[in-house]
Structure 1
Amino acid sequence: MTDSRPTAWDTYARSEPQRRTVNAKGETTWFNWTQYPDHGPGADVLGLAPGDRVLDLGCGAGGNSAHLATLGMTSVGIDLSAGQLAKARERWTGVDGMELHQADALAYLADTSTVFDAVYSVFGAVWFTDPGLLLPAVHANLRPGGVLAFSQRPPVEGCYGCQASYIPRGPDEDPAVVKRWDYEPDEWARILREHGFTDVSVSVLAAPPGNRRTGTLLVRGVRGVRGGQ
């Protein structure tokens, strides 16, 4: 069966504007875990130092990947969407230390020999890939003590496990459909521990003051040692 996900995410890319030129602090690059501007923690969640290697699963238009590259990391971003990667290359041309690849998360992790110091996903591939398949692959490609962190919307009460996300297309077309995986915080913590991650923290960051109510689920774990690895 043909994988329809790249087409779905290309559709999404057409509806998303480029990241702002500067943020509220006047910075030209920055890290954002949430769906709200100028909100939430920054890159320090990943515990990285200059020279470290970091992988963005579902990098989109590349804003977070570019920021880490400017901090001196080797920053690798992968995405299924050619449209998103085109936006990233247009916006961040000339940023040293940033690599972009069109790839499926599971396929990339299976093919690469690189060991990363951190792997992260911001509303990206960790949300849209079966964790029973993805987490072992991430674990195998993280150094011991390396960080996995990801963010996504919290689950709708009673709607857990594999769910459907609908991405609008043209007025005369059915929406594109992709799968996502939603769990409550305690369940995410259990799943990460089951797959060899330690020091797991899971929290819901409240939305900034205003009319918005939906927070952001932020999950972080450290690669432990399993099976003599």
Structure 2
Amino acid sequence: MTTAQFWGDYAQTKPSPRETNAAGERTWFNWTQYPEHGPDEEILCRQGFGMPERALELGCGSGRNIAHLASRGVTSVGLDLSDVQLSRARAKWGDVERLHFVQMEATEFLGKTEDRYDAVFSIFGALWFTDPAVSLPLVHDHLNPGGVLAFSHAPAIDGCYGAQGAYKGRFAGAPPILRRWAYTPQMWTGILLNYGFMDVSAVILPAPHAGDLGTLHVRAVRI
């Protein structure tokens, strides 16, 4: 099984996204695994500026977050490896202006494109599943000066940091093909500073209900 096939199978198990949120809006932004919880798209604004002019989402999935940016006038690119996810995203958001979807692995895309962005973000997406030693220099190179990098995913398990794999089938069958990278907020701050970012904010957002798992949220600015 390839990585693309893995994500295609994963997409098939996910329930269809809600049509609207509690306010009746067709698009909205959600950084966490909990509905309508956490900060909104204003996180992507550069200091002294409004919304970014161009934005890229690495691992856009169903496409709702990047479609929300496009609906606010941002020229937006949603990148995903899964043809299943992108077929659904195109079917749902094909009428949104300034929105373009691309099927490609994140570092391959960043290694080929000459485009630059005011914001690059990933929500439980490609930046979680890519070695930061590979992804962060590429993201840095494709952000305009002052551009924002932001991402979120589940927090690290205490004492379990760096690259991690996940076995399926009780250790029988094919070996795992998927890895993800886990670090504390303090570790992420050091890593991002090391790769030329500044104004780093790395925090664990509390869950809406006490005792539930929080969400790691990181924001940094390109020098």
Same-fold call, TM > 0.5? Answer: yes
The residue type paired with residue 47 of structure 1 is C
Provide the residue aligned with 2:192 in structure 1: 192
Cα distance in 1 for partners of 2:134, 2:196 equals 13
Cα distance in 2 for partners of 1:167, 1:60 equals 22
CA 37–174 in structure 1, closer or farther in 2 if over 3 Å, else same: farther
Secondary structure, counterpart of 2:127 in structure 1: coil
CA RMSD of the aligned region, Å? 1.9
Provide the residue aligned with 2:205 in structure 1: 205
Please list every run of 5 or more consecutive structure 2 residues that lacks an aligned counterpart in the other structure.
none
For residue 196 of structure 1, report the CA deviation from its aligned partner. 0.3
Cα distance in 1 for partners of 2:54, 2:16 equals 25
Aligned residues with identical type, % of pairs: 49
TM-score by length of 1: 0.90
For residue 142 of structure 1, report the CA deviation from its aligned partner. 0.2
TM-score by length of 2: 0.92
Provide the residue aligned with 1:134 in structure 2: 135
Provide the residue aligned with 1:148 in structure 2: 149
Tell whether the 8 Å contact from 2:79 to 2:104 is kept in structure 1 after alignment.
Answer: yes
Secondary structure, counterpart of 2:96 in structure 1: coil
2:217 paired with 1:218: yes
For residue 18 of structure 1, report the CA deviation from its aligned partner. 2.4
Which deviations, in whole Å up to 9, do the C-alpha atoms of 1:107-145 show, x marking residues without a partner?
A: 101111111000000000000000001000000000010
Tell whether the 8 Å contact from 1:18 to 1:87 is kept in structure 2 after alignment.
Answer: no
The residue type paired with residue 199 of structure 2 is D
Provide the residue aligned with 1:39 in structure 2: 37
Provide the residue aligned with 1:73 in structure 2: 74
Secondary structure, counterpart of 1:23 in structure 2: coil
Secondary structure, counterpart of 2:186 in structure 1: helix
Provide the residue aligned with 1:179 in structure 2: 179
Provide the residue aligned with 1:6 in structure 2: 4
Tell whether the 8 Å contact from 1:77 to 1:100 is kept in structure 2 after alignment.
Answer: yes
Provide the residue aligned with 1:58 in structure 2: 59
Cα distance in 1 for partners of 2:160, 2:24 equals 39
Secondary structure, counterpart of 2:166 in structure 1: strand
Secondary structure, counterpart of 1:107 in structure 2: helix
Tell whether the 8 Å contact from 1:167 to 1:177 is kept in structure 2 after alignment.
Answer: no
Please list every run of 5 or more consecutive structure 1 residues that lacks an aligned counterpart in the other structure.
225-229
Q: Which aligned pairs between 1:83-94 and structure 2 lie closer than 5 A?
A: 83-94=84-95
For residue 177 of structure 1, report the CA deviation from its aligned partner. 3.9
Cα distance in 2 for partners of 1:84, 1:92 equals 12
Secondary structure, counterpart of 2:137 in structure 1: helix
Pick one of 9, 22, 25 that aligns with 1:24: 22
2:118 paired with 1:117: yes
CA 50–184 in structure 1, closer or farther in 2 if over 3 Å, else same: closer
The residue type paired with residue 59 of structure 1 is C
Tell whether the 8 Å contact from 1:81 to 1:102 is kept in structure 2 after alignment.
Answer: yes
